[in-house]
Structure 1
Amino acid sequence: MLHTFFVAYPRFVRFSWGVGSSAYQTEGAWDRDGKGMSIWDVFSHRQGKVQHNETGDSSCDGYYKVKDDIALMKELKLSHYRFSISWPRILPTGIKCKMGIKYYDDLINVLLENKMTPIVTLYHWDLPQTLQEKFGGWQNISMIGYFSDFAGLCFERFGNRVKHWITFSHPWSVAVEGYETGKHAPGMQMKGSGAYRAAHHIIKAHARVWHMYDSQWRSKQKGIVGISLTADWGEPVDILDQKDVEAAERYVQFSLGWFASPIFNGDYPQVMKDFITKKSAQQGLTTSRLPTFSSQEKSYIKGTSDFLGIGHFTTRYVTQKNIPAINSPSFYSDRDLAELVDPQWPDPGSEWLYAVPWGFRRLLNFVKTQYGNPMIYVTENGITIKDGVNVRSYTAWSLLDKFEWEDGYSERFGLYYVDFRNKNKPRYPKASVQYYKKIIIITSHLLE
């Protein structure tokens, strides 16, 4: 019976090691068992949008390999698994899909049978295509209500076993790459306004869902709800140059702070408000392109996260750069900065990713200072530190090689290599499997 899977302690008693994935990147079965179309199904099928015109149609076939993949996690001695629920798989047209719900029921049950905690993301970028077509997706305030309905269904059906919920995974990418640059689905290029509008609605949707859980479900289900934010570190090129110091802070505030500041402090970072207002005025606009929260909304949004998920991959050196306002408005020009990398940094092979452990340490201390030392779950990559930062878990990204958005299958983040040319999608352990397993075993003994 379902109640036998009840998890008594939603906050990890000891440090928890895990792996992560997302629905579109791993599940495949894009049109099976009643699943509806997502914006990524449509976007990846457009010629030229993804490298080599690859899609996530079948990806790792994770939809059919639940027990096999959980066996891999068990071999790694993991404590938790972070995955996302595909909105169009369980609510393809606003009507519940029984097969989609059963898939996640089975996944959660098998995890718990194997003594692994499910950490569930509600939105990892796969908006139902019908909501994009009818309303313009996250440009429309109506998404708040639709997302709340979807979240409510998830709490109702899975909340008796799931005690750790993430509302949004990396909304920065949803806003900027979905509605500013168009690199990601739905591929809209609304420069200078689209990203800010999308983010505004996402923040409100997050708060609505947190309050819904708090008022309707928390007392019965004893779970916690947070958000996972992209958080790269910005280091001043010249630490003695005040302009570089301020530019580096803007770099962090225009990414992490954009979402974390309203949720933890009640409003957008002051530097975002100042710079976007200034740029908007220079462009002849009478109001800022950055939307504003009413006083009631600020109070409603503040404090709506029981933990902060951090997805961290890299660091940049940052310097002041004055970008003329006569250029067309854009998120990037609003920041007045330039990004650089140190050629001495280890390069794992991805053009944007450099391994800079000290940058993550500084980022975590920034979070501790700026947002009142919240409970942190490292939801993608990262390291732990000894600075009194309240880090509770680490999630390696990712269990399997998978569809990497606009890069298709050209980048491989998995602990396990997936042979995508083989119709059976076999998994093969990389050297990182034994390395990660060794870390888990050693640290578990140290913490006992």
Structure 2
Amino acid sequence: MTDHNIRECQKSLDFVLGWFAKPIFIDGDYPESMKSNLSSLLPDFTESEKKFIKGTADFFALSFGPTLSFQLLDPHMKFHQLESPSLRQLLSWIDLEYNHPQIFIVENGWFVSGTTKRDDAKYMYYLKKFIMETLKAIRLDGVDVIGYTAWSLMDGFEWHRGYSIRRGLFYVDFLSQDKVLLPKSSALFYQKLIENNGFPPLPENQPLEGTFPCGFAWGVADNYIQVDTTLSQFTDPNIYLWDVHHSKRLIKVDGVVGKRRKPYCVDFSAIRPQIALLREVHVTHFRFSLDWALILPLGNQTQVNRTVLHFYRCVITHALAWRLYDEKFRAAQKGKISIALQADWIEPACSFSQKDKEVAERVLEFDIGWLAEPIFGSGDYPRVMRDWLNQKNNFLLPYFTEDEEKIIRGSFDFLALSHYTTILVDWEKEDPIKYNDYLDVQEMTDITWLNSPSQVAVVPWGLRKVLNWMRFKYGDVPMYVTANGIDDDPHAEQDALRTYYVESYVNEALKAYVLDGINLRGYFAYSLSDRSAPKFGFYRYAVNQFEPKPSMRHYRKIVDNNGFLGSETQGRLCPEEYTVCTECSFFHTRKSLLIFLAFLVFAFIISLSLIFYYSKKGRRSYK
């Protein structure tokens, strides 16, 4: 921010607040910025008038909220200012500017659409944010705020906006005769907040100390295995001459082909560094997907990357082996096969609203139940889906035959889910851009939630809720969280957000296991490196080098402890499954370089030997 911007900001606040605040709380006179800009309009106070005005207030009464007439101002009177809900910043500025007065917030709130009735989620979350900002100003900044008043008690006529918006805690039907006042969700929320005198810590949100069971699958997920498709000396049958004297390059000899050796997966050297990274994180499992865009770069079969396709045949061979294992060896060796579900949690925006709860359940069935119910439940699509689509006259959802249902139902050994965030849903249509007409649902977020750079909300308790919902719907099946992660600022040296995210979400998984009895068998963080998932990785990637971020070390500590050890928690009782070797990563990732250096050393020794031999032979000839 430049000095000019600071002066403009100060001028804006002088015109809005200082007009009255400076004479009363400072020196009895108008701000200098107003006097210099409006010298012909502002009166001059005498010294006796200044003394009479100064100090004529027992507290600073503040009204803060949307300036509904803001757009009516002349542009030059706005001083480039924009509306902002940052109440905490304003309270701190008032405290410093006007000699630490007691502040009473006498009017504060927001507004919703005039069509919104009693479930005013948008207003409720703005109210929550404002009161949280006030609490932070008191506790963290030392501002002396002595009271808070929400605006307003009931819906009314809002100046030039008329009845097109609503700002009340109580709903009023303006077309009815009796005008009965009905409490909105915001009123119930505010009532509960007053009873609690703020936001007391909830027991369910406190960190839990404890460990996961022995054999818990700690893993990392990635989009796909990175494969270097450059032909190696083993997979390239061509013969080359090294043009040492001129171009210094290899020149292919036309018409001459060497004996081709059968290629193997280990020929792809790019796999080795990734395995070394997995060892460094201390995880026992790795989940990845096939990169079909790399196999079919044009999106069809006109151009097929045969080198990569061969590599993925190795993976397919592994998958076929698992299918064979499933058919012939499952009973004896207990193999496991399943399907991974995308399962972000859907929370009712208004917990007091039955309609919001119904909307949330509908979205969960469409998002998760669509695939989960046939496999883990009844063998058919969710009843909620069929009823809703029939209501919408959409009959595209197929019906399974009895034989198909028998084949589909129970075709799993565990339940795998990917979870990243939580979304709020409301049945009231407030924002057309985020309204889903197909499901009649308004998507929104709690503006007090922490967000990533890409605006993904960090809501750890959502993971615990979705695990419990899965258990309620599909029984006590073994569960694996196969992907869970967040993006962070790629330019930040410390990826603090990811560190907080991983610790908080793993702790919620621990609560689900310890407190709720969820049969949780494993957790996979997303993702391994920024190379395949930019901004999501535990490792930065640049110029064929992987650099661990602080979040990787934090996750490794959780893995090593098999959870969260406390002062009263016993140490890890599970047997060690690996030996820590800090040098291994170096040698694994630089094996080719070390071989080359060894060759240079060997060549140097041979050269010295030859020089010594011929120099000695030359001396003999001379004699």
- Tell me the distance in 2 between the aligned counterparts of 1:370 and 1:447: 33
Match of 1:72 in 2: 277
Residue pairs, 1:391-402, within 5 angstroms: 391-402=520-531
- Relative distance call for 1:237 and 1:63 in structure 2 (3 A) is farther
User: Is residue 315–residue 359 contact of structure 1 (8 Å, CA) maintained in 2?
Assistant: yes
- Match for residue 338 of structure 2? 226
Q: More relative contact order in 1 or in 2 (CA 8 Å, sep 6+)?
A: 1
Shift of 1:377: 0.9
What's the counterpart of residue 35 of structure 2?
Answer: none
Question: Residue 277 of structure 2 aligns to a residue in which SS?
Answer: helix
Match status 1:340 vs 2:545 = no
Residue 368 of structure 1: how far off its partner (Å): 0.8
Q: CA deviation at 1:308?
A: 1.0
Give the superposed CA RMSD: 3.7
Contact 2:531 2:540 in 1 (8 A): no
Q: 1:276 aligns with which of 373, 389, 407?
A: 389
Distance, in Å, in 2 between the alignment partners of 1:86 and 1:317 is 32
**How has the CA–CA distance of structure 1 residues 248 and 31 changed in structure 2, closer, same or farther, with 3 Å as cutoff?**
farther
Structure 1 partner of 2:87: none
Say whether 1:22 aligns with 2:223.
yes
Instruction: Name the counterpart of 2:541.
Output: 418
Question: CA shift at 1:441, angstroms?
Answer: 1.6
* Structure 1 runs not aligned, ≥5 long: 1-11, 35-61, 106-119, 121-149, 160-208, 282-286, 405-410
- Residue identity over aligned pairs, in percent, reads 36
The separation in 2 between residues aligned to 1:264 and 1:224, in whole angstroms, is: 15
CA contact (8 A) 1:259 1:268 kept: yes
Tell me if the contact between 1:254 and 1:335 (Cα under 8 Å) persists in the aligned partners.
Answer: no
Pair 1:446-2:569 in alignment: no
- Partner-residue secondary structure (3-state), 1:19: strand
Task: Give the Å deviation of 1:63.
Answer: 5.4
Give the C-alpha shift of residue 426 in structure 1. 1.4
Q: Which position in structure 2 is the counterpart of 1:243?
A: 355
1:3 aligns to what? none
The 3 A distance-change label for structure 1 pair 155 and 437 is closer
- After TM superposition, list the pairs within 5 Å mapping 1:289-368 onto structure 2: 289-321=396-428, 332-351=436-455, 353-368=456-471
Instruction: State the one-letter code of the partner of 2:347.
Output: E
Pairing of 1:259-274 with structure 2 (within 5 A): 259-265=371-377, 266-274=379-387
Partner secondary structure for residue 21 of structure 1: strand
Say how many residue pairs are matched.
289
The CA distance in 2 between the partners of 1:288 and 1:317, in whole Å, is: 28
1:177-202 residue CA offsets vs partner (Å, 9 max, x unmatched): xxxxxxxxxxxxxxxxxxxxxxxxxx
TM-score (norm 1): 0.57
Query: Relative to 1, partners in 2 of residues 1:28 and 1:308: Cα closer, same or farther, differing over 3 Å?
Result: farther
Matched AA of 2:283: L
Which deviations, in whole Å up to 9, do the C-alpha atoms of 1:338-374 show, x marking residues without a partner? 11111211112222x2111111111100011100121
Question: Moved runs in structure 1, 4+ residues, more than 4 A?
Answer: 30-34, 85-93, 97-105, 219-222
Q: 1:302 to 1:234 in 2, by over 3 A?
A: same
- For 1:262 and 1:98, the matched residues in 2 are separated by 38
SS in 1 for 2:347: strand
CA–CA separation in structure 2 for the residues paired with 1:346 and 1:235 = 16
Aligned partners of 2:476, 2:363: CA distance in 1, in Å?
21
Aligned with 2:365 (options 225, 239, 253): 253
User: Does structure 1 residue 429 correspond to structure 2 residue 429?
Assistant: no
One of 266, 279, 288 as aligned partner of 1:83: 288
Kindly indicate whether the alpha-carbon contact (under 8 Å) linking 2:375 and 2:410 is maintained by their aligned counterparts in 1.
yes
Q: Match of 1:426, as an amino acid?
A: Q
Q: Which amino acid aligns with 1:290?
A: L
With the length of structure 2 as denominator, give the TM-score of the two structures.
0.42
- Contact 2:290–2:312 under 8 Å retained in 1: no
SS of corresponding position for 2:531: coil
Bigger Cα Rg: 2
Alignment check: 8 A CA contact 2:326 2:335 kept: no
Letter of the 2:519 counterpart: N
**What is the CA deviation profile of residues 113-140 of structure 1, one whole-angstrom value per residue up to 9, with x for unaligned ones?**
xxxxxxx8xxxxxxxxxxxxxxxxxxxx
Task: Give the residue type in structure 2 aligned to 1:402.
Answer: R
Tell me if the contact between 1:380 and 1:396 (Cα under 8 Å) persists in the aligned partners.
yes
Deviation per CA, 1:68-97: give whole Å up to 9, x if none: 12111112211111123457989997x9x7
Distance of 2:333 and 2:291 partners within structure 1: 22
Report the residue type matching 2:483 in the other structure.
E
CA 1:224 to 1:89, structure 2 compared with 1: closer, same or farther past 3 Å? farther
- Partner deviation per Cα, 1:302-333 (whole Å, 9 max, x = no partner): 1011011110000011111579xxx9xxx953
CA contact (8 A) 1:228 1:308 kept: yes
- The answer for the alignment partner of 2:189 in structure 1 is none
After superposition, the Cα gap between the structure-2 partners of 1:31 and 1:305, relative to the gap in structure 1 and judged at 3 Å, is farther
- 1:195 alignment counterpart: none
How far has the Cα of 1:249 moved from its partner?
Answer: 0.8
5+ residue gaps, structure 2, are: 1-212, 237-266, 485-504, 564-570, 575-623
Q: Distance in 2 between matches of 1:27 and 1:435?
A: 28
Contact preservation (8 Å) 1:19, 1:78: yes
In 2, distance between residues paired with 1:393 and 1:447? 18
1:275–1:334 contact (8 Å) kept in structure 2: no
Per-residue deviation at 1:102?
5.6
Secondary structure of the residue that 2:469 maps to in structure 1? Answer: helix
Change (3 A) 1:446 1:252: farther
